[in-house]
């Protein structure tokens, strides 16, 4: 004990021991408690060092105290606070597979109450390891002599304190640089809290979250109802009246949305030539839907996402608003903003049940929190799927397994329902393991481009298997299908490698061609309809929601949508992209340059000054849509906009943690597929060639458990 006491009397040794112990237990928690998806030596190195930089900075604050007793007290206080933060996140993660945020701690009594109520159940025997350093130091401090005098050499102490602080700053900056190498734009594209913790640590994430929360609160605090006036006027003028022949065409049908990860328009009807000169249709099933007489399809449809990527696509298609100019609206605003989104609207207007399905963790793009604000009744994320072994890739459960395994939840949903399925296998860098290989790869110098077509074909097969199942259960005929590509898959940097594959000259590839590559498929498939056609007018994801609502027979007069009904004769074919580029029927505007849509030729110098200014005015008019949307989002102005018809739109109050119990108590459960099938599962009707399913499995429904029980033959 005397030697330990001597360490406490010696400033340098005490500080070093505290840092080392805190570093070790934090790293231990990373490995044991959190599923951070660490791969490769660089990510493992970053995970190892990320507790040190900010940890040294925090603990160095105590070194500036001139009184030894106060200094030791400060060190212990910092250690206690940091340990409490770490352990609170451990407990929360065990229950919700997510990290604590300010919005959860301050703004949600439901979540905090659930955390407190289940603390004992979440504790584990080894949890003492997270507190043992605090207990030991507390015991030793108790033995330290009281009334330690002030330090005599204040200059020496100041130098050590400053030196330690500088060391911490250097390590933190180094950590940031390594994180930028492994994950570019980490802090501007904060699409998953897991990523910030993995690269920068728990303490950094908490500080960053506090900063973002404070910034958003300041912006929102400055807003009032007066900021809505111009936007309300714009929305009313911008609205396009529905076409009577289409309004209500899909009334009372189930809605099944499939967000097709990274699927671009050039894949539609595309045939890839292999090394032997034989051609292979990449997406034959999606092609059949796109060209069907039962579909409204759009060949000149653009994604309008920014840094929020897939989550921006969800904002666009389900709220008819844009994502933010920087970062992800889901991540930055999704936990607290007011949204008039498809799930809430359909529940309010037509008593729809809603559910989202995603084979990745709920924290990815902050979906768990944002879906509550959208009004989703259920969200089945990675917790509800088996992702073990070879069943998943980097971004989650493989698509064929994802659709199949979703059936045990889909068949229990009361009808009519609104469902969304987020595919992930066709995601950069487009890996596909050997057991799923077979489709030819492209023959270019870029391996990413080469693999792109094989994973697109895999996604197409997965969707076809899902449709086959839906037809067998009778769900197909009573549904409308909304299918869209969420964003580009091939980046501008790689587009020249694609050029020869689509009949273009890479030497003549430029910004106009890059803009065209932002086209993605959009299909509204309505079984039984025979009026389908392919529309070629410019359109975008912002238009999806008003189009869908009108097909379902729901008026949109009271909503502040930036988009318009694509089937309306009054639709304005001006499409602003998130980066400010604008596409119209005749022209593409890229910065101050104007291109002819037919020839791709730049026309800027061919117009008179008067003509050019008129066209630029049209471009700026289209961009106003972005400005109005940004103000609505950043100021959370929809909280001030509650017409009488919208008063029932409220965020969901529970956290998707006991969904099967809630689902079994749903008042409309008798309308579900499984109840109509007398309590027997329909999963045996699902046929897949997924090689990961190696044995035959029967499924028996247990109503008293609210779960599917797997019985192996």
Q: Just list the catalytic residues.
A: 310
550 is in an annotated binding site: no
| Structure tokens given for 330 | 């889901």
Please give the full DSSP string across 240-302, using - where no structure is assigned: -PPPTTTTTTTTT-EEEEEEETT--GGGTT-EEE-TTS-EEES-HHHHHHHT-TTEEEETTEE
| Structure tokens given for 267 | 């894949």
**3-class DSSP state of 353:** strand
Please give the full DSSP string across 199-216, using - where no structure is assigned: HH-HHHHHHHHHHHHHHH
CA dihedral 356, 362, 365, 367 (to 10 degrees): 40
Q: Give phi and psi for 566, each to the nearest 5.
A: -70, -20
Q: How large is the C-alpha radius of gyration of the chain?
A: 28
695 is in an annotated binding site: no
Q: Give phi and psi for 183, each to the nearest 5.
A: -140, 85
465 is in an annotated binding site: no
**3-class DSSP state of 67:** strand
**3-class DSSP state of 642:** coil
Check whether the bond before 429 is cis (ω within 30° of 0): yes
Sequence-separated (6 or more) residues with CB below 8 Å from residue 178: 42, 45, 46, 49, 199
**3-class DSSP state of 395:** coil
How many helices, marked H, and strands, marked E, lie in the chain?
25, 20
487 is in an annotated binding site: yes
Edge-first strand listing for the sheet containing 417-422: 378-380, 353-358, 417-422, 254-260, 479-485, 522-525, 295-298, 533-535
**Cα distance from N-terminal residue to C-terminal residue, the chain:** 63
Binding-site positions: 261, 427, 486-487
Binding-site positions for substrate: 427
Binding-site positions for Mn(2+): 261, 486-487
């Amino acid at each position: 004990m005397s030697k330990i006491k001597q360490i406490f009397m010696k400033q340098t040794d005490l500080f070093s021991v505290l840092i080392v112990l805190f570093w070790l237990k934090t790293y231990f928690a990373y490995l044991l408690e959190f599923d951070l998806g660490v791969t490769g030596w660089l990510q493992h190195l970053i995970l190892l060092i990320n507790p040190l930089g900010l940890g040294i900075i925090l603990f160095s604050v105590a070194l500036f105290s001139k009184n030894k007793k106060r200094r030791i007290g400060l060190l212990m206080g910092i250690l206690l606070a940091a340990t409490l933060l770490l352990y609170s996140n451990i407990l929360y993660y065990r229950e919700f597979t997510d990290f604590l945020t300010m919005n959860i701690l301050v703004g949600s009594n439901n979540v905090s109450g659930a955390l407190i109520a289940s603390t004992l159940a979440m504790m584990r025997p080894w949890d003492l390891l997270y507190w043992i350093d605090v207990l030991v130091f507390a015991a030793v401090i108790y033995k330290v002599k009281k009334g330690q005098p002030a330090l005599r050499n204040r200059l020496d102490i100041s130098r050590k304190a400053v030196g330690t602080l500088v060391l911490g700053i250097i390590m933190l900056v180094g950590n940031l640089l390594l994180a930028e190498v492994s994950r570019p734009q980490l802090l501007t594209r904060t699409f998953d809290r897991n990523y910030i913790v993995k690269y920068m640590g728990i303490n950094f994430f908490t500080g960053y979250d506090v900063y973002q929360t404070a910034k958003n609160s300041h912006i929102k605090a400055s807003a009032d109802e007066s900021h809505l006036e111009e936007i309300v006027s714009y929305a009313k003028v911008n609205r396009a009246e529905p076409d009577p022949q289409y309004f209500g065409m899909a009334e009372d049908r189930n809605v099944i949305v499939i967000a097709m990860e990274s699927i671009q328009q050039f894949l539609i009807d595309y045939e890839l030539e292999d090394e032997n000169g034989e051609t292979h249709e990449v997406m034959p099933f999606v092609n059949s839907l796109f060209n069907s007489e039962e579909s409204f399809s759009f060949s000149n449809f653009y994604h309008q996402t920014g840094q929020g990527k897939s989550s921006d696509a969800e904002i666009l298609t389900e709220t008819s608003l844009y994502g933010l100019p920087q970062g992800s609206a889901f991540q930055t605003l999704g936990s607290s903003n007011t949204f008039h989104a498809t799930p809430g609207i359909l529940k309010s207007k037509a008593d729809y049940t809603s559910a989202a399905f995603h084979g990745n963790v709920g924290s990815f793009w902050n979906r768990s929190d944002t879906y509550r604000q959208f009004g989703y009744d259920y969200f089945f994320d990675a917790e509800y799927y088996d992702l073990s072994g070879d069943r998943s890739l980097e971004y989650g459960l493989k698509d064929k397994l994802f659709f199949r395994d979703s059936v045990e939840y889909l068949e229990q949903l009361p009808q009519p329902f609104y469902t969304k399925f987020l595919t992930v296998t066709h995601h950069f860098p487009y890996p596909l393991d050997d057991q799923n290989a077979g489709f030819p790869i492209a023959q270019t110098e870029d391996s990413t481009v080469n693999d792109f077509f094989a994973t697109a074909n895999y996604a197409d097969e997965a969707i076809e298997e899902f449709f086959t199942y839906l037809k067998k259960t009778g769900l197909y005929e009573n549904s409308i299908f909304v299918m869209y590509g969420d964003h580009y898959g091939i980046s501008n940097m790689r587009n020249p490698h694609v050029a020869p594959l689509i009949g273009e000259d890479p030497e003549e590839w430029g910004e106009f061609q890059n803009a065209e590559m932002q086209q993605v498929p959009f299909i509204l498939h309505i079984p039984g309809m025979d009026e389908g056609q392919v529309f070629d007018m410019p359109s975008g994801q912002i238009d999806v929601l008003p189009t869908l609502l009108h097909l379902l027979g729901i008026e949109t007069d009271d909503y502040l949508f930036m988009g318009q009904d694509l089937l309306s004769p009054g639709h304005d074919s001006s499409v602003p992209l998130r980066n400010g580029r604008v596409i119209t029927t005749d022209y593409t505007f890229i910065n101050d340059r104007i291109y002819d849509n037919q020839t791709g030729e730049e026309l800027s110098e061919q117009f008179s000054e008067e003509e050019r200014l008129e066209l630029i005015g049209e471009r700026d008019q289209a961009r106003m849509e972005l400005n109005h949307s940004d103000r609505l989002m950043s100021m959370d102005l929809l909280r001030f906009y509650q017409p009488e018809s919208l008063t029932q739109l409220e965020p969901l109050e529970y956290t998707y943690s006991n969904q099967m119990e809630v689902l079994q108590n749903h008042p409309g459960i008798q309308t579900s597929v499984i109840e109509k099938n007398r309590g027997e599962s329909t999963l045996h009707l699902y046929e897949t060639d997924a090689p990961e399913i190696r044995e035959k499995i029967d499924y028996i429904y247990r109503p008293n458990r609210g779960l599917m029980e797997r019985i192996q033959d």
